[in-house]
Chains A and B, each alone.
Chain A
């Protein structure tokens, strides 16, 4: 598996969440994703970027264009140094939220993408990586 393009940007404010959505859209288009896939990627990016700002206290997202044989994909990795998630299983449940949201961010993003990984250490931060393959 090869990374053919790589970029990291900060996700610290609502305006930067919008910027992440726009970047994810540009990358998805340049990788040749269709309209429905683009929309899924951008929506997942929006949910995860918002989590990074609201729950993680801000962080970064890394965008990577992937080549895996004939397959091409887009990976987004969100990282923060926030309080972390105490109970990952609970956090991934539909409708569960410690904030004021609908509790669909993590579980929804997982459904919208092909691959989903999450690591979180209480007191140290959270890392969520999602990939959509074409």
Chain B
């Protein structure tokens, strides 16, 4: 297993809190030399454009810090609404639940260690 950060969002976040989470997470990636971040949103009953943008930002920033991001547990009603809103969460990996999300992070890490699995040999 690599070093992963697991974040679960449990409250209805106002915008400042979402921004604080984003900043805090970047600091924690650096401090723990994390290779992956798993954000579980199964408790969220809404993802609007602000929270959607925050998730996209986290994935993009984490990538620059050499960590993978996966968002897990999005409720079906939230997913339906998000697409209708016009947000497709491009660049954000998602998984059904935490277990699948961890598998995804492990796979991404293995691929990275073998240099993408293709360029070797």
Residues of chain A having any CB pair with chain B under 8 Å: 14-15, 17-18, 21-22, 25, 35-36, 38-40, 42-43, 46-47, 50, 94, 101-102, 104-105, 107-108, 111-112
Contact = CB atoms under 8 A, between A and B. Distances in A.
- Nearest 5 pairs between A and B by C-beta? A108-B85, A14-B14, A39-B77, A46-B48, A104-B49
Interface residues of B, number: 24
Contacts of B15: 14, 17, 50
Given A14-B15, A47-B49, A36 B77 contact: yes
B14 A46 contact: no
A133 to B, nearest CB: 16
Q: Per DSSP, are chain B's interface residues mostly helix, strand or loop, or mixed?
A: helix
Contacts of A25: 45
A112 B85 contact: yes
A20 to B, nearest CB: 11
Given A17-B14, A40-B81, A101-B49, 17 more contacts: A14-B14, A14-B16, A35-B77, A36-B76, A36-B77, A39-B45, A42-B46, A43-B46, A43-B81, A102-B52, A107-B86, A108-B87, A111-B84, A111-B85, A112-B81, A112-B84, A112-B85
